Amino acid sequence: MRHAVFVVPFLFETSVRFLRAALRLPGVAVSLVSQDPLERFDPEIRSGLAAHWKVDNALDATQLTQAVQGLSRQIGPADRLIGVLEQLQVPLAEARENLGLPGLSSEAAECFRDKSVMKTRLREAGLPCARHCLATNTQQLQGFLEEVGFPVVVKPPAGAGAVDTFRLDSPEQVPQMLATWPPHPSRPMLIEEFIVGDEHSFDAVCIDGRCVWFSISDYTPTPLEVMSNNWIQWCVQLPRELEGRGYEPIIEAAPRALHALGMGTGFAHMEWFRRPDGSIAISEVGARPPGAQFTTLLSFAHDTDMYSAWSRLMIEDHFEPPERTHSAGAAYLRGQGQGAVKAIHGLEHAQRELGELVVDVKLPQAGQAQASGYEGEGYAILQHPHTDIVEHGLKRMIEIIRVELG
Ligand SMILES: Nc1ncnc2c1ncn2[C@@H]1O[C@H](COP(=O)(O)OP(=O)(O)O)[C@@H](O)[C@H]1O
Ligand SMILES: [Mg+2]
């Protein structure tokens, strides 16, 4: 029997969906390593686990190594050490190396984690991406600004969720940014040339570094625009057909980019831009399954369970490329105003007009705290064989539904 050790630091619903899928795999013993106590996990999960090991810090490679050693004594030698969280990928890789387990190397994991290293690698491989500079002092920042001009984007080199990510449009904005966030060796700042264009993802499945399957999605608008305008509700759509949509440049470049970054076996989530002239720039890549309900979207677009597909791939090295049967999309329901969720308007109207397209929904609940990210407080997922029907449905959904905060 295979023994897979799954790390879920905290009881996040996204991680738990992957864990549940691993527990459904026949002939696999799954152990859980978490920071949250086992009692927090629901009885169904607890009864499915072979064992549990609590750690104080799940991002510490030494603690993960000791956890796997302890679990191996209880259950038998571990075959895999896996987890889905972005912040876990480097410590997981380090622990696997300590233990001699297969998986993404720590060198590659670092490449995916640090956006500056990532962009340097991509450029070296001749792949298109924004010019960048990792500044540890003001001189470096000024030098880069003189070289590329405005606008630029500044962000933390290992950030996530567009947190602390800003667009600077003119020299007048620099002093204020420097006052609140001066670049320093202890706090380097990543500065990038601003790419004007629309934003997309390229979600890939790789086996031994070879891209064996992929999906593309369209973001409306870009996450940075959503973060900068608190009235905007974000939408993501997976069109059913990938031909005839100008995706050729990314279909050619993305597998080379994954190879250049040292991708092994697993899911990869790449974000990329397309400029008005059709040229592309690769933005960032994670060596992990995507967040923000994307795995659910992938499931609905291919009429399959991509959570299970990921578990099988990571534990048994097996993946059957599914066919695209539908378009799927998510409308992220995001409150307007300030404070907790007060009310949702337009539900009945949306139900009447769009109910037949909705396959999954998480409605913001009255009293729910305001979300800080661009995903908002809830979502509705739409599915239909026709791309334009989903596109129209998403547009209508965010027009009709209004989440009131206050
Ligand atoms: N060079 C860039 N040009 C234009 N927009 C950018 C650039 N870099 C980031 N952004 C915007 O900021 C968002 C967050 O940046 P990203 O690098 O994806 O970090 P995160 O890991 O926080 O998602 C992106 O989704 C995109 O909308
Ligand atoms: Mg991103």
Residue range 268-278, pLDDT digits in tens: 999 999 999 99
- Which residue puts its alpha carbon closest to atom 10 of ligand 1? 224
Quote the ligand 1 centre to 194 CA distance (angstroms).
9
Say if residue 178 is in the same domain as residue 85.
no
Per the listing, tokens 């920042």 go with 141
Ligand 1 pocket check for 15: Cβ under 6 Å? no
Whether residue 161 has pLDDT greater than 90: no
Say if residue 188 is in the same domain as residue 206.
no
How confident is the model at residue 158, as a pLDDT? 87
Say if residue 341 is in the same domain as residue 358.
yes
How confident is the model at residue 181, as a pLDDT? 86
In a domain, 114, yes or no: no
In a domain, 158, yes or no: yes
Mean pLDDT of 304-313: 98
Mean pLDDT of 343-366: 97
Say if residue 308 is in the same domain as residue 371.
yes
Q: Which atom, in ligand 1's list, is nearest to the CA of 194?
A: 3
Ligand 1 pocket check for 159: Cβ under 6 Å? yes
Ligand 1 pocket check for 197: Cβ under 6 Å? no
190 Cβ contact list (under 8 Å, min separation 6): 115, 116, 132, 133, 134, 135, 154, 155, 156, 157
How confident is the model at residue 164, as a pLDDT? 87
Whether residue 162 has pLDDT greater than 90: no
* Phi, psi for 396 (deg, rounded to 5): -65, -40
How confident is the model at residue 300, as a pLDDT? 98
Q: How far does Cα 6 stand from its chain's mean position? A: 18
Q: Which atom, in ligand 1's list, is nearest to the CA of 195?
A: 3
Full 3-state SS string of 149-171: CCCEEEECCCCCCCCCCEEECCH
In a domain, 69, yes or no: yes
Q: Is the pTM of this model over 0.85?
A: yes
What's the chain's average pLDDT?
96
Mean pLDDT of 90-104: 98
Domain that holds residue 185: 131-193
Closest ligand (CA of 199): 1
pLDDT category at 171 given cuts 50, 70, 90 is: very high
Quote the percentage of the chain above a pLDDT of 70.
100
In a domain, 385, yes or no: yes
Enter the DSSP assignment of 196: P
Whether residue 327 has pLDDT greater than 90: yes
State how far the Cα of 230 lies from the Cα of 248, in Å rounded to an integer: 33
- The 3-state DSSP class for residue 319 equals coil
How confident is the model at residue 160, as a pLDDT? 85
Say if residue 189 is in the same domain as residue 288.
no
Ligand 1 pocket check for 161: Cβ under 6 Å? yes
- The 3-state DSSP class for residue 256 equals helix
Ligand 1 pocket check for 223: Cβ under 6 Å? yes
How confident is the model at residue 73, as a pLDDT? 98
Summary count for the chain: helices (H), strands (E): 14, 19
Say if residue 179 is in the same domain as residue 235.
no
Taking only the tens place, the pLDDT of each residue in 44-68 is: 999 999 999 999 999 999 999 999 9
Mean pLDDT of 347-363: 98
State how far the Cα of 402 lies from the Cα of 385, in Å rounded to an integer: 27
Taking only the tens place, the pLDDT of each residue in 185-209 is: 999 999 999 999 999 999 999 999 9
Taking only the tens place, the pLDDT of each residue in 2-59 is: 999 999 999 999 899 999 999 999 999 999 999 999 999 999 999 999 999 999 999 9
Ligand 1 pocket check for 199: Cβ under 6 Å? yes
Say if residue 389 is in the same domain as residue 354.
yes
Say if residue 236 is in the same domain as residue 347.
yes
How confident is the model at residue 95, as a pLDDT? 98
CATH number at residue 323: 3.30.470.20
**Residue 363: closest CA among 341, 382, 385:** 341
How confident is the model at residue 41, as a pLDDT? 97
Q: Which atom, in ligand 1's list, is nearest to the CA of 271?
A: 18
Ligand 1 pocket check for 283: Cβ under 6 Å? yes
State how far the Cα of 58 lies from the Cα of 9, in Å rounded to an integer: 6
50 Cβ contact list (under 8 Å, min separation 6): 3, 29, 30, 31, 75
Question: How many structural domains are present in the chain?
Answer: 3
In a domain, 115, yes or no: no
How confident is the model at residue 159, as a pLDDT? 84
How confident is the model at residue 18, as a pLDDT? 98
Say if residue 95 is in the same domain as residue 143.
no
Say if residue 332 is in the same domain as residue 226.
yes
Ligand 1 pocket check for 224: Cβ under 6 Å? yes
Tell which one of 133, 284, 288, 375 to mutate to probe ligand 1, the residue whose CB is within 8 A of the most ligand atoms: 284
